[in-house]
Structure 1
């Protein structure tokens, strides 16, 4: 099932285009196999309850994982209009 597209409410600035636009609200969160449902619930809640949802930009931080592509597809399919970026790296330790 695909999430609805969320649009800015009245009084919001025009949707911005670049990731560095100062009009964006940047939200960083982790993305991994253990907490995928929780991360997607947080994204859904933020988009649903924000009055200017088109001004939200998500930065997903993920460790290198063989299932990372599946995680990313799950997010992309669930939120097709999501403005986001993913950064992946190695585990720390």
Structure 2
């Protein structure tokens, strides 16, 4: 896993300088976006802003960024939460049904 620092954007709010580890990272063709998966280390106070299955924007200090969705939250210690995230996948639009 690769350690990172960055900002987690939540609507009009920002969790600045969050720390985490990337498990997967993949650039998107013809785009500045990245598919990012890994986990964040958050304080209990920051947890009030996090919801499972909600999309967020993760901007890493090195310039990479991507839309992520929180998939799991664990509390290994009283002073820290581990927040797993996956890339937000584009919605697949089904073709119309024949009449």
Higher relative contact order (CA 8 A, sep 6+): 1
TM-score using structure 1 length: 0.27
Q: Which has the larger share of helix?
A: 1
TM-score using structure 2 length: 0.26
Bigger CA radius of gyration: 2
